[in-house]
Every structure is written in structure tokens, then in C-alpha cells.
Amino acid sequence: MARDEQVPGIRPRPSLGRRLDIMARHSFPATITVLLMLLCGLPFGFADQAVLLPSVTLGAVFFWSLFRPGSLPPPVVFLLGFLLDLLGYLPIGCGILTLLLVHGMARRWRRMLTQQGFIMVWLAFICVGTGASALIWALTSLLSLRVMPIGPALFQAVLTAALYPALAALLIGAHRTIANPERV
Amino acid sequence: MIRLSIPARQILSKLTLPVLIAASFAMLLVGKADTMLAERARVALGDSLAPIYVALSEPLAQARAGVTEIVDLWNMRAENAQLRDENARLRQWQATALALDAENRRLKADLHWVPDPTAAFVTARVVADAGGVYARAVLLALGPNHFIHRGEIALDQSGLVGRVTEVGARTARVLLITDLNSRVPVVLEPSGGHAIMTGTNGPRPRLLYWADGTPPREGERVVTSPEADAFPANLPVGTVRFSATNVPEVQLAAQLDRLEVVRIFDYGLNAMVPPEPTHSEPTRPVAADRLK
């Protein structure tokens, strides 16, 4: 709504319906991330399904932090991280810290990355996702005082990178249509 | 909303991220200091999400059954031949088993054997994977007035699955025997050797701490041991298999990757459940610590 107030021009009266619509579009990134996270918990019945949750969450948070940081402010990322810790049975704080760092990096590189093509964004995300998987592994190992097996961490890094194009395709579609606050 | 000047707002928005990162470090410390807090939050979240998972697990199970059926149809011919072969072998075993059963009954009657009491059990549906990347657990949906307690034992149709570690109003979490924190005292049959089965987060737990004279042998049956009062005797666990690196592992009888329904047994064994089990080391039998 901030942009609506700042940019001069003729626009329809801000009725209740329009306000609700704008609000829904603003809260779409956080909502869809939470929904995707909850979907990951369903028993799909394939092996190592638990890796899906951090992979999808990292992808979604990176995407929205890059393309719609206004709708995903740090406090929301904090809450998403807390949800990741609870749903993913990670030590509390581990997911929060990781997601905040991913968010911070995405915002820092925002200017540069949003002008590049998809491949560059994906490459950047592969680095970020691998770093995040390593951080989750290191924090879990540190907090449980034992070296966790490295296999799941590697698998998580690979799955995170591999899932991103599909996730981005879904989110880009939403970003341009139903989540776009300027298309009210 | 409080109206702030533009520079103040800019400073505030720049400060949010560092402050929140500092807060996340604080959360790490709080979570480590008070593990019950996280557990309570998880149980509450699980309880509130359970109805959604229950509603969605039914169509998902049907879809999965459909896929399995197609795969089964594809494999039917090979499976049929294999089954016929197996059937012939099992018929021979059935004759042996019937003879042994009759003999066993006769001997027990001679000895005035007191049979073990049958334990009470409830059946529950697995609605969600409650493990993480570094944990192996499942979430069960229960009725609102259930009588499930911590430390009760979960079995599927063919073997040991795990133990109940957290209980909420309508859900319970079962830590699987493949989890990194799981320790199960076991007996190997027929040698009668004792060992501890430890989870590795992989599909096959390892055997550790066996006695010198009775090393595990390939193909031996693994059953639970009543030692330490954590499990009843003789629950089927699996069979001994040696890995490529010659480490004795247990091929589990239970199908942990395809759990749909489990039975929760109350054997009245509450001796080994600490009053407030922590998340990182839930309900580990004391015997395992002593043996280390």
C-alpha cells in the first residue's frame, strides 16, 4: 500500500474489498511458504522425505527475499525459521538463524541478481543452499554434541539445488499474477 | 501506527536483521537450556495440525495404494513363481511348526508353565513423518481420550517399530529404532548372545557391545531382551546381516519406510522412562549408558 500512497495518479477508491485484496497479495509470500512447509509433512511415502522440508523452505525464502523483500520482512523470516525448527525437529534457533542469513544474503545481492537471468540466480542459490545445509548440519552437530552423519546434509544440499527450478517456476507464476499487489 | 521520521525508519529497518540474528542465537541457547520448551511447542503444534494431516492422509493413502497396485500388476508373474516356490517351502515348515507346537504345549502342561499375560494394545494410524533430517520418528493420530503413555512400545504387523516419546492431546510421537538416539537391548537367537542395537539414522541399525564368546552371526534372529526393564522379552526385531565393511547390522522385520498403522502395547514397563525426557536423548535405556 505504501507505493499506492506515494505514486501520484488516479486510482479507484480504497474500498474494503480492495484493501483486503491488497492485503492478501502482500501476505501471499509468507502464506504460500507456510502452506508448502505444512505440505512437506504429509506422508508421501518415499524415503528420506524429511529432507524435503528444509529444501523447500530455503528455496521459498530465498525466492521471496530476492523478488519481494517487502512482503517478507525479517520478523516474518524469523517466524518461518521457528516453524521450520518445530516441524523439522531441528534444534530451536537453528532454522531461524539459517533462514535469516539466507534472507540477508538474498537482500544484499538483490540489485545484482534480479538483473541477471534465471541461470545466474540458480547458481547463486546453489551456493546459498549448500552453505545453509552445511550450517544446519554444523549447528545440529554442535548442539547435540556429536557429529551427525554427513550423507543427509549432502542429500539436502543436492535436493535444495535441484528443487529450486520447479519451485521458482511455481512461485514466479504466482508472483506475476495472484501475488502481485500492482494488479489489483 | 506510530509515525516515525524517514531517517529513523531507515535506521530501524537496517537494524532489524542484525537484532533478529542476535535473537536467533539467544533462541539457540534457550532451546539448549530448556529442551522441554521446544517439546511442548512441538506437541502443541502437532496436536493442532493433526486434524489436517488426518484429513489429507486418507486420499494420499489411496493414491499410494493405486500406484502400488500398478507396480504389483507389473511384477505379478515373477512374484507368482516366487510365491509358489516359497509356499512349498513354508508347507514343510508348517508341518514342523505344528509338531513343535504340540510338543511345546505338552511340555508346558507337564511343567505347570504360567503363560505371560497378553499386553493391552491400541491401534493408531501414522499421519505424518515426525523426524527431521537428523531424526527418525513418526506422528500418530489418536482419539481425544486415549490412554497412551510415554515409554509404550510400538509394533507393526511384523516387528518392533519404536517407543512413544512424546504424547499430546490427540497425537503421539514414536521414536523409531533406526533413530540415532535409539538403544535397544537385544538377544540373538539361537546363540543366546546379548547385544545393544543402536540406531544410525540409516535403514539398518548396528549391533554393539556383544559378549566375547557370542559374536553375532549372519542370519541370526534378533529379538528384544527384557534386560533393563525397557522392553519385554522376545519381540521380533529382525535378522543379523553383515554390511560390506563387515559391521554386524540388523535387517529389520518391521517396514519402517512404509508405516501406515502401528499397534501401541502397554507392557507396564515404566521403570526406564525418565520423568522429563529431553528431546536430544529421549527415553534412552539406562543400560545403554552403563555399557558405554
Helix (H) or strand (E) holding B43, with range, is helix B35-111
Q: What is the mean pLDDT of chain A?
A: 86
How is residue B162 written as a grid cell? 519404536
Between B9 and A83, the higher pLDDT residue: A83
Q: Which of residues 72-131 of B touch A (CB under 8 A)?
A: 126-131
Model pLDDT for residues B61-109, shown as the tens digit of each residue: 888 888 888 988 888 888 999 999 999 999 999 999 999 999 998 898 8
The answer to whether B239 and B197 have CB atoms below 8 angstroms apart is no
Residue B146 CA to residue B164 CA, distance in Å, equals: 13
> Residue B52 belongs to what H/E stretch?
helix B35-111
What is the pTM for the complete model shown? 0.79
Among candidates B16, B28, B45 on the partner chain, residue whose Cβ is nearest the Cβ of A91 = B28
Q: Give, in order, the Cα–Cα distances in Å from B87 to each of A127, B97, B99.
A: 54, 15, 18
Residues of B in contact with A80 (CB under 8 A): none
* CATH no. of B119-292: 2.40.10.340
pLDDT digits 0-9 by tens, B147-173 = 888 888 999 988 899 999 888 888 899
CA angle B43, B48, B51 (to 5 degrees): 120
Residue A139, C-beta contacts closer than 8 angstroms, at least 6 positions apart: A90, A91, A93, A94, A97, A98, B28
Domain residue extents for chain B: 7-115, 119-292
B56 touches chain A (CB under 8 A): yes
Measured between CA atoms, how close is B164 to chain A, in angstroms?
16
pLDDT band per the 50, 70, 90 thresholds, residue A124? very high
pLDDT of residue B273: 55
- Which chain B residues have a beta carbon less than 8 Å from that of A50? 129, 131-133, 135
Buried b (16+ CB within 10 A) or exposed e, B176-208: bbbbbbbbbbbbbeebebbbbbbbbbeebbbbe
Number of domains in chain A: 1
Which amino acid, B22?
Answer: A
Count the residues in chain A. 184
Domain range spanning residue A178? 2-183
ipTM of this predicted structure: 0.80
pLDDT over threshold 90, residue A104? yes
